[in-house]
Each structure stands twice: as structure tokens, then as C-alpha cells.
Structure 1
């Protein structure tokens, strides 16, 4: 094998050249782990997905997700974008894709549901987070302030202290005061490296998800995500972090039963506006499901020389 096909899509947007870029290798059979990592580094997108036949024939595919520096167990926009790509094909490893696709990943089986227009054409997808909400250590506000190069007094702690949260991939999550603070944030790589030594296991990179609430719409949030240790200075849309944040906020609501829709707007400061739609369901005091959804548009397709 001396070449392999790829497709790129913009995820969490209905407009080409917005949202979060994703490269999908729709048939990665024959690629080694080392080749996958090299291809991901070559694209320098926040993630690239590699699609393989499923180990369980009841599932649609096995999906491996690589950042420019490492393989990760789960991420939001790679799943949404990969489902969109496969949903536009007539054959996925000998089967026609239906409206529900099941992806085998390191974090578990991720179920995706295609969003189609009136003509039946795939225009996006929604996924269910593969793991329940888990919380790691709280992160002191001084560390958050140094990582984001903002005043420590601009970090809000009324709803929750900055904390590591995950529904499949961990992020430090912190609320800041207003859009002005969010716009001023700038990652300090040295501070991230120190935070990583203190708060992240060796096989994970410290990543920071900052957000603020819009005053007139408390469930419409603006966010930015920084992961400079993973060669992702800033990410235009981060579904896995959005899912973790939505689950965290729902868990803190006093109601024991809740069905809430949350919109997270991200990538504005980068010129790649993204809209991530969440639905979080809580019953008997526990978050039971987190759905992460958005639209996609195809951008490029081509051949990678190996």
C-alpha cells in the first residue's frame, strides 16, 4: 500500500471554513500505529480519525483518534465528523450505514445518530458520551490564572471551583467573568507544563476549558479551550470538554430530575465560530446521559502518499 484516501470536514458548523477541522481516514486498514501518528502530525488538526473494521460485528466500526502528539480514548468533534462522513457512504466494511452508528473506541462504545435533512442527506450527527461524569481534583485559581494569563480575580467560583471533569476525556474546567476576560485569555505553555505535572497522569496532557455565561441566556455559554502541551494552542470546538461541562453544571442543579438543553459557542476569537448543542438528562440526582450534537460540512478529499 503506497497511498490512502482522506476526507476533511468542518464540524459543529453549517458553514464551510468555520467550526473545527477534522481529517477522516475512512479505511485505515494496513496503517501502523506509527503511520497514524505521523499522518495526524502532518495535518496538525486537533484530531484525525482512522476508521477500521469493528471487532464486534454488531458495531459499525472501530475508530482510533489521534492528536498531533498522541492517541486519545475519546473526543467529541471527531465522532460527530466521522459519523457524518460514514453516513454519506453507501458501504462501510460491507454494510450500509443506518441512522445509528456505533463506534468502538478506547473509552468504550460511542453511539452516534445522524442528523439528516428533508432529502435524507446527512448534515450532522449527535453522540452520547461514553462514560458517566467523573470529577478529578480541584485546581487552584492561581494555576488557572497563570495558564490563561488572566487576573485571578476574573475567575468565578460561585457555582464551582475550577476542577478536572470528564465524560471520556479529562479537562480542567473554569468559569470566568464576562466575554472580555475570555477574549483576553492567552495560554502560557510554561504554566501548563507545571499544571500538567501536578494535575494530569503521565498518559494525559493538561488541557483547560474556560467559559462564561451570556447574561440574558444562562444556558448559552461561550468557551475557549487551550491544550498547548498537545500542540493544540487553541481548539475551535471541543465536544468532549463541552459534554463534561454540561454534565458538571447539571449535576450541580438542585433538582434531582432534569432535562436541559445547553448551547456552547466556541472558536469565535479564532475566526472559526462553532455551535455545540448539548442535551443533559439527570434523574434521581445523577446525570444519566449527555448528548453532544452539531452540524458538519465537507471541505476536501484527497490522497496521502505513504
Structure 2
């Protein structure tokens, strides 16, 4: 055998749900696989399963007891485990609310590697909102280097504001671009991207502009994350939370706080809509990100105790 043993710890461990997060309807937003009865799965098994599902993230709920105050959850990309991610947090909270708590709560608390993340349930489950951990602001990156990574010119970057690393649990480089045309022209130079992320804490780049496709959205967003084995993500709650904090920090909209909608995933054919809110609270910035979760499928892994590869 070439990997962790295939024998699942119990019959329910292979059950999963597939959800579209930050979607207005099925087959939009960002896909997520959730394993609600994952207690007993090893780290190696979780990683292999996430690679098999091959969504940007797959989550595993380690305690499915309805009287739990906090629900321990692990998040995996096809390549690595991550301490926090936005659409997996909302989607997993929806599964806990629907399947474990039987819709009998208006708040779900996830215990993630980054810490506890509370998620509010609104409108009978039609909208979920998470409060992200307080943001950290890191290094700035030269506009010319960012333009080279994105296959753009320096003039495409809005140099009134910095290209800067921000984290609300996981680091992203926030890059302001002037026009929608420029955002659509992006072709990531993988060699330059690798060179950039090798020296930064941020391993993914969020690019945004103030022009949008949908009239009811305020900013157009793309997120590039080859380092995580996901070339482009259709909806990224963690990155949009960092964007919200960045907007407040640099007064991009000219206001001390923000509440707005972003669109993402348009170029991938998976249109996504994310609600962002950020405001100063003392010396910190409070960041909340919300959206809709749409369940689309459920099933079970067909594994036998003698299967190789897991």
C-alpha cells in the first residue's frame, strides 16, 4: 500500500454533502465538500479525500454531537491543510445548522486551527455571516512586481493605494487595479508568481477594481492561488475579509467603515456574491463576511478495507 489505510473508522465517515457557497442559485459560487461524521479519520486520509474531491477546499467535522458548544473542523485544499478559509467556514456551518442542530439555532461556532469562528444564521438559513479574526497588515509589494505577476502593465495598478499583505486567519496579497478590462486581461506568470510567494507570507493574490458586471455589486474580484493547487478561486470569503479590512485601513471608499457586495467567479462561469462589512473597533478592525449557501448533492465514498491509496 502507498498511503494511509483505506479502512474508514466507522460506516458514516464516508458520507459527504456538496454545497455551493456564496451562490444565488445552484451551480454558482464556490463548491465545497463537507464530511459531517469525520471523527477517526487520519490527517493522511483527509488529505487524500480532499485531493479526490478536488474542490478548492474540503472540510471534515470531527464532533457531530448536537450539544457541542463548538464544532471542531479541519479544512484541506487538494494540496495542504489550511488554518482558515471563508467559504468552507460558511458551508460547514450550514451543514452543522441543518444536519446536526436540525435548524434549532441561530448561531454556530466552529473551532478551526486559527481559533473559534462564530457564524450567524439569518433569514431561516438563507444567509450566513461569519465574524473573522481581527486582521493583521503585513508588507507592501512594489506595483511593478505585482503587474509582472499578473501579466499587466504598471499603469493598470492603482498606485494611489498599496499592494499589501493582509490576514484574517490566512494571508492574501491585496492588489487594487484600475479597470474591469485590466482585471479581465490578467494572465498569471507562474514563474513570477512563485518567485513572489516564496518571499511573502501571502500565497494567494486578490485583485479587485471598482467597475462591476452586476449593477448590485460594488467591487469586482478575482483570486489567484496556484500555491494551493487552485489556479483561480470562484469565491473566497477569507480573501474578501482581508479586502474589507484593507478598504477600511486605506480609506479606499473615503469612509471609515464599509458595507458592500463584491462579485467574484465571473470569469470562471461561477458567479458569486459576497457581503462584506468592516469597521474600526478601538485599535482593531471588525470584519464580517456573509452570503448564501446552496446544497446541491450528497453521497458516500465507496471504499473497502482493502482499497489502496488512502
Normalising by structure 2, we get a TM-score of: 0.87
* Mapped contact 2:244–2:258 kept (Cα < 8 A): no
1:222-261 CA-to-partner distances (Å, cap 9, x unmatched) read 0000011211010000111101111111122399994431
* Mapped contact 2:247–2:258 kept (Cα < 8 A): no
Residue 109 in 1 paired to residue 119 in 2? no
1:83-135 CA-to-partner distances (Å, cap 9, x unmatched) read 1122212x35xx9751101110111100001123xxx4x22311000x21111
* Mapped contact 1:54–1:61 kept (Cα < 8 A): yes
Alignment of 1:15-30 (within 5 A): 15-30=25-40
Aligned pairs, number: 291
Residue 60 of structure 1 corresponds to 70
Residue 123 of structure 1 corresponds to 126
Residue 23 of structure 2 corresponds to 13
- Give the 3 Å change call, closer, same or farther, for CA 97–106 of structure 1 in structure 2: farther
Which residue of the other structure, out of 146, 149, 152, is the alignment partner of 2:154? 152
Secondary structure, counterpart of 1:240 in structure 2: helix
1:5-61 CA-to-partner distances (Å, cap 9, x unmatched) read 000000001210010000001111121000100111111111111111289x76331
- Give the 3 Å change call, closer, same or farther, for CA 300–58 of structure 1 in structure 2: closer
Give the deviation of 1:192 after TM superposition: 1.5
**Ranges of 4+ aligned residues in structure 1 off by more than 3 Å:** 215-219, 254-259
Residue 173 of structure 1 corresponds to 174
Taking the aligned partners of 1:100 and 1:150, their CA distance within structure 2 comes to 43
Residue 266 of structure 2 corresponds to 268
Residue 4 of structure 1 corresponds to 14
- Give the 3 Å change call, closer, same or farther, for CA 287–221 of structure 1 in structure 2: farther
Which residue of the other structure, out of 205, 210, 228, is the alignment partner of 2:207? 210
Normalising by structure 1, we get a TM-score of: 0.88
Residue 44 in 1 paired to residue 54 in 2? yes
Which residue of the other structure, out of 233, 246, 251, is the alignment partner of 1:253? 251
Taking the aligned partners of 2:21 and 2:252, their CA distance within structure 1 comes to 33
* Mapped contact 1:84–1:123 kept (Cα < 8 A): no
Question: What is the root-mean-square deviation in Å for CA atoms of aligned residues?
Answer: 2.5
Give the deviation of 1:193 after TM superposition: 1.1
